[in-house]
Amino acid sequence: MALATLIALSALSPAPDDLACRAANGRVYVRVRAGDATGWWLVDTGATHTVASPRTAHSWPHAADTPREAENYGLTAWAVPPPMTLGHNRIRLSRVAILPRLAERFLAEDDIFVAGILGWDLLGQQRWRLDPARGHARVMASAGWPPPRLAGHWPLEERHGSPVLNLRHAGGQTWSMLLDTGTGALLLSVPAARRSGWQSSHPGEAGARIEGLASTQASWLWPTRLASRGPLAPAQTILVTDRAPMAWVDGVLGTDFLAGRALWWDGPGGWWGVSAPPRPARGRSPA
């Protein structure tokens, strides 16, 4: 059972709101002010809940009504944060989870001291443009969706408090994929790979042998409703794993599938899309 929405948002700004950003390893961090403290927060659509590091939340009062469902995610300590400012948006969360060793993990991986993670309980209430390749993020105004210059936009389903996309593999199989901007990897569960008939173990062949955790396959992905307009992304290497993150999806779609393009989503409207590939400048010869 998904948690109830925990957010009260002020009215979105009337114009697009560019955010201070940093990018590392395919992840995007944005500058968030929580009370008197400002820090870097990871934009992670794959996180069901917004979480803070113990250092960030050390002075915040503890939440008395910790949601029992969140214990399934290992989130047992909760705090009541002060109002948070994201660009021109003022956000008030009923509670955030406290995750031990959060800052140390991302300091080691991305060399960024992280104050917290913005999860789907917050991100799903807004309209965003995220460009990991250029380290850029923008909270969009409510009007004008879908925006121009999209290669296409498709339905976005929320399942168990997380964003799920339905993609069709080149072999015709449909996969339900968790949209996860907190990772670059494309992961597929063993059952989904078996349904697709993967058998060989060498990337570039017809399939991938299902054994252990390290089989890969170069593949093409289509949104289920736009197969006639070409694939969503170039051939991608997909890791087949027996450690599926959730039982209710076939795999995880990380940011590698963007291939340098921007990702858009409209949480309230239930849509997502990718930008058109950048056009080469006219009159310039290739380097």
Going from N- to C-terminal start, the domains of the chain cover 7-133, 150-275
150-275 and 7-133 share a CATH fold: yes
SS3 category, 241: strand
Structure tokens at 287: 């380097």
Work out the average pLDDT over 168-195: 80
Angle at 105 between CA 104 and CA 111, to 5 degrees: 80
For the question of whether the overall pTM of this predicted structure is more than 0.75, the answer is yes
Structure tokens at 145: 């969706």
Q: 200 vs 168, which has greater pLDDT?
A: 168
CB atoms closer than 10 angstroms to residue 260:
11
Q: Average per-residue pLDDT in the chain?
A: 74
**Letter for the amino acid at 44?**
D
Look at residues 204, 148, 192, 130 and name the one whose alpha carbon lies nearest to residue 167. 192
The confidence score (pLDDT) of residue 7 equals 41
Domain 150-275, CATH among 2.40.160.10, 2.30.40.10, 2.40.70.10, 3.30.300.10: 2.40.70.10
Look at residues 259, 206, 205 and name the one whose alpha carbon lies nearest to residue 230. 259
User: What gap in Å lies between CA 208 and CA 194, rounded to an integer?
Assistant: 9
- The fold of the 7-133 domain, in CATH, is Cathepsin D, subunit A; domain 1 (2.40.70)
The confidence score (pLDDT) of residue 210 equals 31
User: What gap in Å lies between CA 114 and CA 283, rounded to an integer?
Assistant: 43
Q: 143 vs 51, which has greater pLDDT?
A: 51
